[in-house]
Chain A
């Protein structure tokens, strides 16, 4: 079945450590996105990528980094520079193109907790 997979589901990080969240999709989508969601809040865009080897900052990119070496994969690294990293992280993918509607499909999310 085609879909988008995030791992792990739960992640614990010590203060001062970097941690990487995985996101893989087999939908053949060009675009991939990372969102952050805090309790009772909406989705805030961290980074997005429209094509391999290219990515753009979203609204809250500080303290995060990404890479897009393969079309299927868009890992997110939460660095020690992110002051308040505890949150629910959502990855999404969508078609991308001049004449395409952008229906985004989401993974199951990763809940990151700093201990």
Chain B
């Protein structure tokens, strides 16, 4: 199936640090979504991006839809312990197409 390359695979950071992760693809997407999954729970939608170049914030989270439409990044500012979890990117190739998910970035925060 279609692949999204998500990096890094995992990160272990100090509380208060900023975090950045990204997803890339060889295909053009028309929608990028970012999810967070807490242990034992379903993923929760954090940010949705619909236009190339779009920059959207949700509290301490900021995500951008790459101008080439082949990538997206998520930044978390001033990380706190409850930011731990798995972050997934997902892309939609075109309207009416199912989502393609990245493999996830595992975030661990040292307090």
Known: A59-B1, A104-B90. Is A109-B41 also a contact (CB below 8 A)?
Answer: yes
Q: B45, A48: Cβ atoms under 8 Å? A: no
Chain B residues positioned under 8 Å from A114 (CB to CB): none
Chain B residues positioned under 8 Å from A90 (CB to CB): 42-43
Instruction: State the interface size on chain A (CB cutoff 8 A).
Output: 30
Chain B residues positioned under 8 Å from A106 (CB to CB): 35, 42-44
Partner of A40, one of B30, B43, B106: B106
Chain B: interface size category = 20 to 34
Chain B residues positioned under 8 Å from A63 (CB to CB): none
Q: Mark A74-104, 1 if CB is under 8 A from B, else 0.
A: 0000000000000010101010111111111
**Which residues of A are at the interface with B, using a C-beta cutoff of 8 A?**
6, 31, 33, 35, 40-43, 45, 48, 59, 88, 90, 92, 94, 96-109, 111
> Apart from A59-B1, A98-B95, A107-B42, what 14 extra A-B contacts exist at CB < 8 Å?
A42-B88, A45-B98, A48-B98, A92-B42, A98-B96, A101-B30, A101-B50, A102-B31, A102-B97, A102-B98, A103-B45, A103-B48, A104-B33, A106-B42
